[in-house]
Amino acid sequence: MKKILVAFGTRPEAIKLSPLILALKKEEEFSVFTCHSGQHKTLCDDVLDFFGITEDLNLKICEKGSTVSDMTANALLSYTEAIISSEADAVIVHGDTSTAFACALAAFYLKVPIIHVEAGLRSADLFSPFPEEWNRVAIDILSDYCFAPTEDAERNLLENGKKENGIFCVGNTVTDALKYTVTDSYKSDLLEEGKRLVLFTSHRRENIGMPMINICNAVKRIAEEFSDTRIICPMHPNPAVRSVIVPLLSGIENIILSEPLPLFDFHNLLSRSYLVMSDSGGVQEEASTLGIPMLIMRDRTERTEGCKKGIIRLAGTDTASVYNHAKRILTDKAEYERMKSSAYSYGDGNASSRICEILKNKLLH
């Protein structure tokens, strides 16, 4: 029996690791120890409840300081203790958060094998996304097993000198999560007959300030010009995000500002959207997989596959650019259908079981 500590703490980590935790728990050769960093307390709780997962330990690192340096330093110390006290034989970290990096570093110092899920993403700019690009590069260097979600990610790892026998291209576990959530029978008061649903989110650190103001101004113009749209905007709890969005977008009839939506609602509304406008990484993968045209409000993306296929458009953060891209999609039906038909799926929904099989092979023999 091998004990695996699974580290998470943000909403996207919880969403993408839950299907893997459930798959690992089914295997009698593994014992799973779930370790929450304490970063996104309420956002993660909803996800864990949905999947029926309980946390074995919460490190509460946010209570000890909230700058990136505080969190990384505290997470390094707390994960070190957690790995030692849980007697973990291996750790799983996901993606690119500073706490995932700290957990990988803690495991490295203790010489405990590191498993990186969603490895190999690169924007090729250390400052965008910041500090996530650094975190990804560093975690990949430290990891014994890198699970790449796509062939592009696998190529990035090889180009960075990672040995081929430590890389496995398995698909993205976000597609596994969508298999749990999206259902034909979904109903919601947020859906309005005869209106085209536009799902809008913006929270990225690089966009806070002028870029987010520009994006909101574009969204406002779209809402005013296209009265047949209903724009739903679940707001990230970060006060710096809300201080931009609330003054610019409240009081407009067809814009609904809400608290973060439970994952079940978010995925089902996403699957029924006409257009998605977001700067989120995970939402790009979900929209692309579900075949929903999306504008990504960033200057570059590490999820290049959906863009290359044509379902995702990089719209930047300039008001005119975001507005023009959205207007074209909302008015040009042929263009819209072209985008829709070029969906790219970030996996077949079986990434978790593939990872389990590979880990059985690698850790148990």
Question: Which chain residues interact with ligand UDP by CB under 6 A?
Answer: 11-12, 15, 201, 203, 234, 260-261, 263, 266-267, 280-283, 286
Query: CA gyration radius for the chain?
Result: 20
Provide, rounded to whole angstroms, the least separation between the CB of residue 40 and ligand UDP. Answer: 8
Minimum distance from residue 45 beta carbon to ligand UDP (Å): 12
Would you call 93 helix, strand, or coil by DSSP?
Answer: strand
CA distance 317 to 363: 45
Question: Catalytic: 253?
Answer: no
- Residue 236: active-site member: yes
Collapsing DSSP states into helix, strand and coil, what is residue 2? strand
Task: Quote the least distance from Cβ 203 to ligand UDP, whole Å.
Answer: 6
Q: In what order do the strands lie in the sheet with 275-278?
A: 255-258, 229-234, 196-201, 275-278, 294-296, 312-314
Nearer to ligand UDP, 203 or 313 (CB): 203
Selected catalytic residue, list 36, 40, 230, 236 = 236
Angle at 19 between CA 174 and CA 176, to 5 degrees: 40
Q: What's the min distance (Å) between Cβ of 310 and ligand UDP?
A: 21
Strand partners, 156: none
Residue type, 249: L
Closest distance of CB 177 from ligand UDP, Å = 7
Write the DSSP assignment of 102-166 as a string of letters: HHHHHHHHTT--EEEES-----S-TTSSTTHHHHHHHHHHH-SEEEESSHHHHHHHHHTT--GGG
Q: Which of 13, 55, 96, 286 is catalytic?
A: 96
Query: Closer to ligand UDP at the Cβ: 108 or 346?
Result: 346
Closest CA to 164 of 150, 145, 142, 136: 145
> Does the annotation mark 203 as catalytic?
yes
Residues 95 and 117 sit within 8 Å (Cβ to Cβ):
yes
Q: Exactly one of 13, 27, 55, 132 is catalytic; which is it? A: 132
* Residue number, 15 or 295, with CB nearest to ligand UDP: 15
Active site residue 205: yes
User: Given the complex with ligand UDP, which of 48 and 283 has the nearer CB atom?
Assistant: 283
Q: How far is the CB of 332 from ligand UDP (least distance, A)?
A: 27
Q: Closer to ligand UDP at the Cβ: 260 or 349?
A: 260
* 96: annotated active-site residue: yes
Q: In whole angstroms, what is the distance from residue 248 CA to residue 235 CA?
A: 13
> Is 132 noted as a catalytic residue in this protein?
yes
* Active-site residue identified among 203, 230, 313, 325: 203
Of residues 38 and 281, the one with the C-beta less far from ligand UDP? 281
- Residues marked as catalytic: 96, 118, 132, 203, 205, 236
